[in-house]
Structure 1
């Protein structure tokens, strides 16, 4: 993995921004924005997908305690179906940045696109969660928050096994869709769900 680059961006307050939940067939897409405190470092930050669940959970709490500011936001299933998942992800990220209690002077966005209507200048950074600690912190907040939400949905809809597959299109999830039909959580614009609706 490449070493993290400096978080100092022309001396400005820097927000890292990332999202979680583009690929699943169900649930909201969740984004987070984080402004880290350079005087209160956090050890062990990395791309959330490369960390164990236990490590993500521990870092989730530490980030919330030590960050200068953080915010978690989402776009709903209805917004995903109306806008498409890319635009809904951008919307969730812009909401997260806007919700920061400390106004950022610059934002680093994971990926190759910058959301519209951000409150500050921004730069897109491909694989940013492996290059910038602030983006890594945002990826952890978004991932853990979304996972907790979908696990809670698993208690509401136990026959779908959300707590195991987190809404992703596993064989178990697809079979549950065929056996039990859709829930209000399912993204009707996604191909596998659309095919269930169409009976194919």
Structure 2
């Protein structure tokens, strides 16, 4: 019986000591703000990488400075008698392959001008690129030099003339 009274007394003292502490820790119930889970960036970027991997790599040739024409072997300087024509022939997708004078055939994708339909590869790449969250692109581009990431930036990825996707990234200093 002494043991039961001692146990009851210990529990009562513990309740008196801990009750004010427990009461001061009660927090009124406020609903927590809804937090969206972070996007699955690795999966999104892997899908885009797989879809866009087969796109042809189009490279525009660098502009070289124009040099004057060398004098002809018979001693006449042709610069005064003839116009110099620059001829460019770079593969383009409108299939005219002409060798024009005074204009160039650049390697720009001019699909929409001549009724070019987007290929299945371009369509898949564009579709998956549209699914990538801005957060994923911004996290990927955080490794750029600070002067490129301090102001708010829009990064545009162009698959062809019919598909341009823009990603908006906030500043490192001010959240968007």
TM-score exceeds 0.5: no
Classify the TM-score, shorter chain: under 0.3
Higher relative contact order (CA 8 A, sep 6+): 1
More strand by share: 1
What's the TM-score, normalizing by structure 2? 0.23
> Normalized per residue, which structure has more helix?
1
